[in-house]
Every structure is written in C-alpha cells, then in structure tokens.
Amino acid sequence: MTAPWTVQTLTAALAKGEITAEAVARQSLARIAAEDGRLRAVITPNPDVLADAQRIDARRAAGQPVGLLAGVPVLVKDTMDMAGLPTTGGWSVLSARAGGLDLIPARDAPVVARMRRAGALLLGKTNVPVMSASGTNANNSWAGPTLNAIAPDRAPGGSSTGSATGVAAGYAVIGLAEETGGSIQNPAAAQGLVGIKPTFALVPNSGVMPLANSTRDVVGPVAMTVADAAIALDVLAGYSADDPKTVAAIGRRPSGGYVEALVPGALQGKRIGLYGPGWRAAALHPATEALFARACEGLRELGAVLVPDPFAGSGFAEIARFVSAMQYDARGEESVVYDFDRYLAGLGPQSAVHSLETLRQLTRADPFDRAGPLGYLWDNKGFADLCADYTHPPDLTDFLRVREEYLAVFDRVMSAHRLDAVAMPQTRSEPPLLFSPDQIQETSVSEINIAGLPGVTVPAGLYPSGVGFGLLFVGRLWSEGALLSYAAEYEAIT
C-alpha cells in the first residue's frame, strides 16, 4: 500500500471519505503485483476482493452499518479454509497447480467467517511449508520459498510464513496466522511484527488444516502494531459452536475487549520474570544477550521490576522431551491423524476427499508415512497405534499429564515470585540464512504450546544482518489483555 496504514488510521480515513475500500483493495493488489514475484507470500489470490470492496463502499454510501474491519486488507494463511479456494497445506500432493489434487472447502473456517463479517478485505491465501511442519521457512512449499520482507537473505520464520511476509511488505494490515509450535512467534519476530499466540481454545480453529487441533493448535494475528493485533483478536476470539472447545473462552475476554485493555503505564510496578536456565537450559548467543539486555533496560525505564531466572530449581526445564537435536517437543501432535481425518470430513459433500482413506486412495500419498512430511511424529509414543486406528478420538492421557505438569509448575513459580508475566527473547540466536539447513532456535517452543499458555511477540530491534529480534511476553492462561498492555507500553519506546 502507498501509506503506512494502521487499522485505526485506515478506518478513520474510510469513514471520512478520504479513501474508498475499493481504492484500498487496488493499492494492496498493486503492491502484490509489484513485489510478490520476488517475495512469494500470496499463493492464491481472492478473485472477489474488488467486488467485496465495492459492496462495503455501497453500504457506507447508503448509511448502512459496516463492520469493525470494513475496508481493512487482511491475508489468510493457506491452511485456513476459504469457501471456494483451495487449501493446499504447501504440499504439491494437495495442489492441482503442482500436479496434485485440490481440496476445495464448501465454507469458511470460523476465523475467516469472522473476518468477513467484520468487513475485512480478504486479499488471498499465503504460503506455508509442507503441512506446516517447519518453524523456519517455507522452502519446501510447492509454490517455492517465501522471502523475509525485511531481510531477504534470512529465514522468514514459519509456518505462517506468507502471512508475516505479506504484512511486513505492506500488502495487508493484518495477517491470519496459526501455531502448533512457534508458527506465529517465529515469523513475527523474524520480520519485525507483533504476533499473538493466544491461550489454547480462546480462538476457534476448526476448518483449519491441523497439526494438533485437539491439543495445541491456535489461530492468532500478526500485525505491524500491538493495537492492530488487539483489534484483530477482538474479532477472532470467543466461543464458536463449530469448535466446542471454545466454550472454555466464555467469560475469559476483557469486558471492554482487548483494545480497551491497552492502558497507559501498564508496566509500572509489574514484576516480570526473565529467561534463564530454569526455563530452558540453552544459552543465548552474545548478539541475542545484547539485544535482550537493551530490552530489559527499556522495561526498567517503564517501571517494571525484573526478576532473573525465577524458574531456577523449579523443574520446569526438565519437563521437556525434545525430538533429536531440534530442541522441539512434539508431544500432543500425535492427535493429528484423528484431527486430519475429521478436517477432511468437514470439507463438505462436494469434495472428492472426505477422509484420510480417500486421500490415500486418490493421491497414493500419505503425510504420515515415516518418509512423509510428518514422519517425525513416529518418535511420539504410540504414534504407530494411532495411525492404525484414527477414526476414534486418541487417548491423550500422557499429553494431558504433561500439560498439567507444565501449568502446575508455571503457576507455582508465578505465585511464589508474584510475577505478572515472563519476558524472553523470542529466539536464542539470529535466524539463519534462508537456504541454510539450520533451524530457528526459539526459547519458548514447545513449552507454551504444550501448556496452552498465551504469548505476545513485539519487535525489539534488529540483529546485525537486519533480521528482526522479538521480545516475547508470556503469562497465565487467558492473560492476553495484560500481555498486550505490556507489549504496547514497550512498543511505544522502541
């Protein structure tokens, strides 16, 4: 776009008639046409976006009510169903354009439907790694690699790669992202954006191609500012009959919404715990230590009381069980076989694929083969049995025990040190080069994903290469309002 719009400045300009929704849509499409041949963020444009913009303009001209995001350009992660557009999961097997089979959903995922009802201009769907199985990049996508918009030679973060790149490049004001293990945090931090990883079950994620719908998956926004992310969360959060687990969200949102939770002086006197070996026994790179020290100084200037390594001796770091040398704990993802079969059934009767079995028959491919894109899950206890019997809900006893253990220790430490939140660098070192075999080294994946805890990532500087450094605030379940207020206070001084 030709102006650095935020939700508030854009909606104000639209309301005053200084610009039309159609003009905004054309600006966004022109930006995509000019830049995306290089960046590869948008893989499936929405052919109806101009008609949608014209309808918004007509409603406004007629004095009819319009939604909170009327005329605001938004990008949708490929894994989220948009009625009539293919959901490919980045996998050539599931893309007719790459010689595979298209999955065409009959209706929008609830989060997409909520954006439509709010009047958002849905520009299209964005690139992801195959089956969202990378937190670092989308290099293996059938659509090709997506670049980091602020540091093109560096990893852009994954798996919500295209949504982050599209927002950082100015195509859209908000990007819809989704996380199982770092997929909101990583691209937000690497590309200088705000990202909200919400409490598990705050936002519905039915109609989204799963990695762990039953246990870990969450949908949240990426945006340029904390206020924009908070506005998006106001639209996305809350109970949906399509996703029964969201009944847990009833009564958990701030009474005035997340935007009204952004109060001045939010960090004054707040006790903030800091990353250390008690959280994870993994040291920070010197460049990260320097950036984190500067961020901590900013928190002190804002009146926060910092508590070094409050998790020391708590046993928190010892709960993790990492996959090989990745420092990634995949527990909970064993639910994916059942979840994926249920996802396929929800595509609608018009779909050629309505079960994992029909997918296997029609494509002669299986994402859960040991050599397949999700083959790493064979390291999870009992995964072979779950692959053999996936039509019934899996036994999640072991996963739930680990979640409860994480939550018990987390709450005990928060109470013992009277903490309001925990702050840490989102990554332990600089994101690697785009085509490096190295992975992004996080601090909080999968601890907060298994526990279901919320986190807000906010830009906190740049590494020497120009790639983003993000500060992550983590809090108790349902504490998004407080975390956003802390992030907004910090954002104001950076």
- Rounded to the nearest angstrom, the gap between the alpha carbon of residue 74 and the centroid of all alpha carbons in its chain is 14
Do residues 411 and 476 make contact, with C-beta atoms less than 8 angstroms apart? yes
For residue 160, indicate whether it is catalytic.
no
Handedness of CA 156, 158, 161, 165 (dihedral sign): negative
> Which residue, among 264, 266, 248, 223, has the nearest Cα to 120 in the 3D structure?
223
Do residues 232 and 238 make contact, with C-beta atoms less than 8 angstroms apart? no
Distance CA 248, CA 200 (A): 9
Do residues 474 and 455 make contact, with C-beta atoms less than 8 angstroms apart? yes
Distance CA 368, CA 386 (A): 11
Do residues 201 and 176 make contact, with C-beta atoms less than 8 angstroms apart? no
Burial of residue 22 (number of CB atoms within 10 Å: 0-12, 13-18, 19+)? buried
State the catalytic residue, choosing from 92, 95, 141, 159: 159
Strand 455-462 with 271-274, pairing: unpaired
Burial of residue 301 (number of CB atoms within 10 Å: 0-12, 13-18, 19+)? exposed
CA of 52: how far to CAs of 6, 47, 69, 116, in Å?
Answer: 20, 10, 13, 9
State the catalytic residue, choosing from 183, 206, 446, 479: 183
For residue 183, indicate whether it is catalytic.
yes
Residue type, 51: A
- The residues that are catalytic are 77, 159, 183
